[in-house]
Amino acid sequence: MTFVNLGDLKEFEIAKGIRARVVNCDSMSIAHVTLDAGALLPEHSHVNEQVVNVIEGELELTVNGEPRVLKPGVVEVLPPNVPHGGRALTYCRVIDAFQPIREDWLAKMG
């Protein structure tokens, strides 16, 4: 078993106003993400299945062109390769779970 202090992890910028600290294990990545109010996440897709958990704030997530607002207690499950993007309606804290790990982020995590 491994214990991780999030404060010890390198924070990196996903997009302007969107920062993450990521815990990786053998088969998944857990991203602790903060978004400034108004921050935009450009539309993208990835090979990872993703579970989006808003812990604080309101996040407008657009999936396949359909916008929806996520708040604490509302979870979005995204299959692999589905186009999605977002906009922070307020300051947000989000925990994203990815399976498999986000290989594309490894270099950014230092």
Does residue 1 register a pLDDT over 60? no
Full residue range of the structural domain in which residue 41 is found: 25-103
Residue 73 lies in a domain: yes
Count how many Cα atoms sit within 13 Å of the Cα of residue 108 in the half-sphere of its side chain.
Answer: 16
Alpha carbon distance 15, 18 (integer Å): 5
Taking only the tens place, the pLDDT of each residue in 23-37 is 999 999 999 999 999
pLDDT score recorded for residue 110: 74
Question: In degrees to the nearest 10, what's the CA dihedral of 54, 60, 62, 63?
Answer: 20
- In the chain, how many domains are there? 1
Whether residue 58 is predicted with pLDDT greater than 60 in this model: the reply is yes
For residue 20, the cross-strand partners are 12, 33
| 34-54: pLDDT as tens digits | 999 999 999 999 999 999 999
User: Which of these, 45, 50, 10, lies nearest to 29 by C-alpha position?
Assistant: 50
Return the closest-CA partner of residue 11 out of 30, 33, 28, 27: 33
pLDDT in tens, 65-107: 999 999 999 999 999 999 999 999 999 999 999 999 999 888 8
In a domain, 110, yes or no: no
What pTM was estimated for this model as a whole? 0.94
Give the domain CATH number at 40: 2.60.120.10
